[in-house]
Structure 1
């Protein structure tokens, strides 16, 4: 979720004259928050650094605020680029065979979540008399990969900016809630790492929260959740082609889908790293370094996510989009958990 930040000419001009990239200040800020959160996570392991980083970002954003232009690029760079780097690094800690095994165990659950989530969300939207495009965007966001899926689909159905903003804000809110609730529910249900990893990977919306929550639960659960989420993300490719044709009867409402543009290329990096690891080219020491680095980046990402939380804007969402978002989030969670108990 993004927010327009008032840009003043003098600070922006000063930034352009600085001898380092414009994203430097924002990255440094997130690094500081991540370091403090890491320390508190060690002191209070039941809470974990991820939650501390997320809360710190939320508190800063909604109290003193981070409105200065010098931080904006760094926060965006961390969430969009550095998260992908973290995922690629995590690929070096997994064998390709394990990825295939996890993918095979989860693909039917992912398929059920995607089809059920989108279909039933559109149905409940129709019952609530909510615009079909908005319902579709929320359903796709909840079922596949949050804001990324919404943004990708937006161009294929020519959704309005207001519809896209409502959908992203709604999904962001429930993704935020899931970050806090899933580890608690997982421990209450005594889910093992495989069960929790697949549940988080198939039900939590955004990739950042899936990876963070998975590793908060444990290293094995984190590996599984990350892998499952990447398989789930690939379902975006057929969706952006099929969904517009199925749900948008008026051909003028649909646009051309660019597979090259929306394809999650970082998944290729993840697979390549796993192949390199599988043939024994990644020593144990390097794996430990990659894992530690990736986890630190995840702390920075979650701090950045927290800095994007604007409670005032969330309060203006309206009841009906909120109800659809709640329904979609609960639905994909229940479908996933039920199938995990049935199939695993």
Structure 2
């Protein structure tokens, strides 16, 4: 059932230009009764956990360190600095919006790294409680909507600010949340801007494994797991898979057809996983997250936008 929802979302996305992740989530929520009882429950649970981890692991084939180095050390440091600064900023300001570190890390990590994919990866290592699913759903919906708005508005900003192709690519790739929207925004300006934006975005994607690994170690060391929950694993298996595939691809040990196949599989696995997550979700509970959570996402998005924009004007 989750696969059927994912296929439907992809079909609608191709015909109506709406993000497939958002459609999969909304369609999944529309049939959430399938995740509550009956024969479909185990399969939906499998999709929302196992397929999610496999999809994140396969993301590693998109990483090629030699291509990224072509952007220059300054740009790479700016992008990595933007990721770390945004996560730190989110953890600091969340208390002013009435949220604790779990939601802060989930939202800031998804904004800083790669949107819905990062949200699902980070959620997998956070200690679980009764509100874990609704926080994840809200974050995925929020960053996907904001990313879509950015895809429309940021190219206009690039033109108004009179950024050149390189500056525009770094800005778009360093600020828009999801990979698909980065590609869409970049190539609406020029081929050079699109190529640069995609490479910059992949630098952010490459930070997913180190961030999740360090966070997992810190959570295991300092966070108290709720009753009945064990500590997160020291090294999540999907992080290992991500790092192994990224290394193999960077060393050119993977044939092009394997890279293409695993990249496509990653997209479908993540789409199916988010459909399954939606099928386990009660929208009424998600909406209780409240306006402060929306404000937090917007503030984090604004922060990374300003951080990268200032950096771009200084170094390029």
2:242 is aligned, of 251, 263, 266, to 266
Unpaired runs of 5+ in structure 2? 188-193
CA distance in 1, matches of 2:298, 2:169: 22
From 117, 120, 127, give the equivalent of 2:96.
Answer: 127
Q: Which whole-Å deviations, capped at 9, do the CAs of 1:300-319 have from their partners, x for residues lacking one?
A: 74465366456433311123
- Give the Cα separation in 1 of the matches to 2:165 and 2:87: 27
Question: How is 1:101-112 mapped onto 2 (pairs within 5 angstroms)?
Answer: 101-102=70-71, 104-112=73-81
Could you list the per-position Cα deviations for residues 150-203 of structure 1 after superposition, in whole angstroms to 9, with x for gaps in the alignment?
A: 543x35xxxx61464564344323212133123212321347775566556544
The 3 A distance-change label for structure 1 pair 193 and 241 is: farther
Counterpart of 2:86 (choices 117, 121, 135) is: 117
Residue 106 of structure 2 contacts residue 139 of structure 2 at CA under 8 Å; is this kept in 1?
Answer: no
Q: Is contact 2:67-2:199 (8 Å) kept?
A: no
Please report how far the alpha carbon of residue 116 of structure 1 lies from its aligned counterpart in structure 2 after TM superposition.
Answer: 3.0
1:85 corresponds in structure 2 to 58
Change (3 A) 1:164 1:78: closer
Shift of residue 275 of structure 1? Answer: 1.9
Distance 1:336 1:34 in 2: 31
Normalised to the residue count of structure 2, the TM-score between the two structures is 0.67
Whole-Å separation in 2 of the counterparts to 1:62 and 1:252: 31
Q: Aligned-pair distance for 1:330? A: 2.6
Structure of larger gyration radius? 1
Q: What's the TM-score, normalizing by structure 1? A: 0.62
CA–CA distance in 2 between the matches of 1:266 and 1:304?
17
Change (3 A) 1:233 1:290: closer
Choose between structure 1 and 2 for higher RCO, CA contacts under 8 A separated by at least 6 residues.
2
CA gap 1:99/1:294 in 2 versus in 1, 3 angstroms: same
Does residue 252 of structure 2 align to residue 276 of structure 1? yes
Residue of structure 2 aligned with 1:168, choices 129, 133, 136: 136
- 1:318 is aligned to 2:285: no
Task: Give the CA deviation at 1:271.
Answer: 2.8
Matches within 5 A, 1:95-244: 96-102=65-71, 104-131=73-100, 134-135=103-104, 138-144=107-113, 145-152=118-125, 154-155=126-127, 161-162=129-130, 164-165=132-133, 167-190=135-158, 198-199=170-171, 202-203=174-175, 210-217=178-185, 218=187, 220=195, 221-241=197-217
Distance 1:163 1:192 in 2: 44
Retained in 1: the 8 A contact 2:13–2:19?
A: yes
Structure 1 residues 61 and 265, CA gap change in structure 2 (3 angstroms): closer
Q: 2:314 matched to 1:342?
A: yes
Q: RMSD between aligned alpha carbons?
A: 4.3
Matching residue of 1:53: 20
Q: Relative to 1, partners in 2 of residues 1:243 and 1:36: Cα closer, same or farther, differing over 3 Å?
A: closer
Contact 1:151 / 1:164 at 8 angstroms: preserved in 2? no
Deviation at 1:98, TM superposition (A): 1.2
Q: Deviations over 1:25-50 (max 9, x none)?
A: 54355345435644x2xxx7xx3xxx
Between stretches 52-61 and 266-275, larger displacement belongs to 52-61
TM-superposed CA distance for 1:297, in Å, is 5.4
